[in-house]
Amino acid sequence: MSLSCKSCGAKSYVKNGKMRGEQRYKCKECGYNFIKGDKRIKYGISDRLKVLKLYLENCGIRSIERLTGIRNRQISLWIEDAAESIKAELKKKSEEFNDIKQIEILEIDELCTYIKKDLRTGGNLPLSGLLLIENQVKLLTLK
| Residue 53 sits in the same domain as residue 71 | yes
Are 33 and 52 members of one domain?
Answer: no
What are the tens digits of pLDDT across the range 9-33?
A: 889 999 999 988 889 999 999 999 9
> Are both 22 and 34 inside the same structural domain?
yes
Give yes or no for a contact between 68 and 47, defined as CB atoms under 8 angstroms apart: yes
pLDDT of residue 35: 87
Does 33 share its domain with 50?
no
* 64 or 7: which leads in pLDDT: 64
35 and 21 in a single domain? The answer is yes
Query: pLDDT by residue (tens digit) across 72-127?
Result: 999 999 998 888 888 887 777 767 666 655 555 444 544 555 555 555 555 555 55
Lowest mean pLDDT among 45-49, 53-57, 63-67, 136-140: 136-140
Same domain, yes or no, for 49 and 24? no
Supply φ then ψ for residue 92, to 5 degrees: -65, -45
Q: How far apart are CA 87 and CA 51, in angstroms?
A: 19
Q: How far is CA 57 from CA 2, 123, 130, in A?
A: 42, 25, 26
If one counts every other C-beta atom within 10 angstroms of the C-beta of residue 5, the result is 20
Please give the pLDDT value at position 130. Answer: 54
63: containing domain:
45-96
- Tell me, yes or no, whether 18 and 61 share the same domain: no
Domain count, the chain: 3
Beta bridge partners of 23: 18
Question: What is the distance between the alpha carbons of residues 34 and 7, in angstroms, rounded to a whole number?
Answer: 9
| 67 shares a domain with 36 | no
Residues 24, 56: one domain?
no
Return all residues near 74 (Cβ < 8 A) that are at least 6 apart: 43
